[in-house]
Structure 1
Amino acid sequence: MGDPVSGVILGLPSLLTACVDCFKYVQIARNFGSDYERCLLALDITKLRLSRWGVSVGISSNDSPFPTVGSLDEKDSQLAKELLKSIMRSFEQAKTTSRRIEKSLREQNPTGSSLAMFNPETDLNLDYSSIHRTLDGILTKRQTSSSILGKA
């Protein structure tokens, strides 16, 4: 029978990747206005910080040039797992709320103009777009090929 701590630690890299990937699902409406770009970059930075944390505590599932603190003990592994699960639950709650709001808006305005979403690839000004691509590139290098996006 395997060590129970190993099971927790083996699950942490994929849980971390899933949490970081959830940021890709955040959509910001066009009527968010000029704050859209700043909010998108704030999300990019938060996503990058979460992935950096995973590397620093040694639960990142890829080889990284960044130094790691080392493996977590059982108590810290459980805490990390609970924190990451909490982040996933928060994204699920936000997704449910978003769908409810979207449904309500569609009923109020069938043309859907208030539901138009920004596309970071086409709607960012050049300065913000460059920063967004740079942050996304760093994150892509840090992540492994396993992703919940591929499983969804």
Structure 2
Amino acid sequence: MQVVSIISTKGGVGKTTTAANLGGFAADAGLRVLLLDLDVQPTLSSYFTLAERAPAGIYEMLAYNEQRAEQLVSHTAIERLDLVLSNDDRGELNTLLLHAPDGRLRLRHLLPTLAPRYDLLLIDTQGARSVLLEM
């Protein structure tokens, strides 16, 4: 699985739009794509109509080390395009990961469980310097 992070410390520069468009194009080209919405403002999570919404999202993945795809991965109406929703509406993940011993490495340790299912992972980040961005 290739992992691509769309990063800028400035907001409003098109990170989410880039992630959504790249994801849609790659899925249309036949790749199995997972979008990961790490932004506190869950714009990427609202770009695509969901065919099936997972009960959990990025909060459970990072706060509780949830690794089960059936709990985390929502399926969009676009074939081969899936999404892990941003559901950290109170912005608690930054503080939690800042104080966790593995905070900046946690995502790296969780991704291998998803790797066999996808060809491409696109990560949309928030437009501010934070632990989530560093991770």
TM-score of the two chains, using structure 2 as the length reference: 0.31
- Higher CA-based Rg: 1
- Say which structure is richer in helix: 1
TM-score of the two chains, using structure 1 as the length reference: 0.29
